[in-house]
Each structure stands twice: as C-alpha cells, then as structure tokens.
C-alpha cells in the first residue's frame, strides 16, 4: 500500500492537472479546426480514451515482466487536456476549467471522490470507469441551448478528466494492478 498522504496525493493530482492544462493551451489552436465538423471533438476524445484504455491494458498485463511505458501517462494527460478544452467550449459560465476538475474530484461531505483511483485499481475496473464516463460525455455532448444539459456535460466532462488524471498518477507510480493481499 502506498504511504502517500492525502495532501501529497492532492498535490500530485493538481500537478498532473496543470500539465494537462499546459497541453490544452499549447495545442488547442490545432483542435479549433475541428469546429466545422459536427461531432469531431467528441470523436477525437473517444479515440484518445480508447487509446488510453488499450495502452493501460497492455501495460498492466506486462508490468511485472517488462518496464512500463510512459505512453499511458502521456495519453491520460491528452484525455484530460481534451476534457479541459471541452469544458472551455461549453457555453455556460465555466471561467476556469481547471477549477471545475478539482471541484469535481472532491465532495465536501464525502472527501475526495477519486480517493482510490490514483492508487491500485484492477485494470478492467479502471478501463470500465473511463469508458463509462466517456459514455456519459457522449450521451450529453449535443447540449444545445439547455442550461441543465450544459451543467450535466460540465460535470461528466470534469469527472472524466479527473479519472484520466488518476490513471496518469497510477501509471507514474507503477500501480498497474490491484495490490495483492
């Protein structure tokens, strides 16, 4: 079991989130070309999540016999960056997409919602959660003019970003599989 404190884990979370924001700022100018093709940003996000899931599965399987790849962390940061870009595009007051992700990862009453996903999670469970949140984003993607739908897309997109950041942290820490008892 890891000996990281909650303060260290939150600091690590915010550091990876800052990396994702730097990636978003650096490459958003290329992503804006996607505006003319309806659904293309969602399709790119889906492709990136799929790539992350495949890379996670491969690295989790071979982690005990092969050195893990940095590719998983990179892909997770790209997924988080795409989510931040999507949050910035929602036509509802989202002044700070980074703050939205931090807020989505913590519930004042319950504590950190991502309390264990930056640690040991079975590969199939982590992949399932990433795909589940991607499905929630896709289901609500065409948010039109309804503020209620925009709030839903904001929340699920922020949660998908948080799940991707946790995957990046777990990969960085070499926590590919659930810890054996």
Q: What angle do CA 87, 124, 54 make, to 5 degrees?
A: 65
What is the predicted pLDDT for the residue at 1?
A: 44
Can you give the pLDDT at residue 135? 93
- Full-model pTM: 0.83
Q: What does each of the 181 residues of the chain score in pLDDT, given as a tens digit?
A: 457 777 788 888 889 989 999 998 888 777 655 556 777 888 899 999 999 999 999 888 887 777 767 889 999 999 999 998 888 776 555 666 666 676 666 655 555 555 566 677 788 888 998 999 899 888 888 766 566 667 778 888 888 998 999 899 888 887 766 444 3
């Amino acid at each position: 079991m890891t000996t990281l404190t909650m303060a260290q884990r939150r600091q690590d979370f915010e550091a990876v989130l800052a990396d994702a924001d730097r990636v978003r700022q650096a490459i958003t100018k290329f992503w804006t070309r996607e505006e003319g093709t309806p659904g293309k940003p969602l399709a790119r996000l889906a492709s990136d999540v799929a790539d992350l899931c495949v890379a996670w599965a491969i690295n989790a399987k071979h982690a005990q016999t092969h050195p893990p790849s940095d590719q998983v962390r990179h892909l997770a940061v790209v997924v988080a960056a795409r989510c931040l870009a999507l949050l910035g595009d929602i036509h509802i007051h989202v002044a700070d997409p980074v703050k939205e992700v931090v807020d989505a990862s913590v519930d004042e009453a319950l504590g950190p919602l991502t309390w264990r996903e930056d640690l040991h999670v079975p590969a199939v469970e982590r992949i399932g959660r990433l795909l589940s949140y991607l499905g929630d984003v896709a289901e609500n993607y065409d948010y039109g003019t309804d503020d209620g739908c925009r709030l839903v897309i904001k929340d699920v997109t922020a949660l998908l970003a948080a799940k991707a950041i946790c995957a990046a942290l777990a990969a960085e820490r070499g926590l590919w599989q659930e810890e054996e008892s």
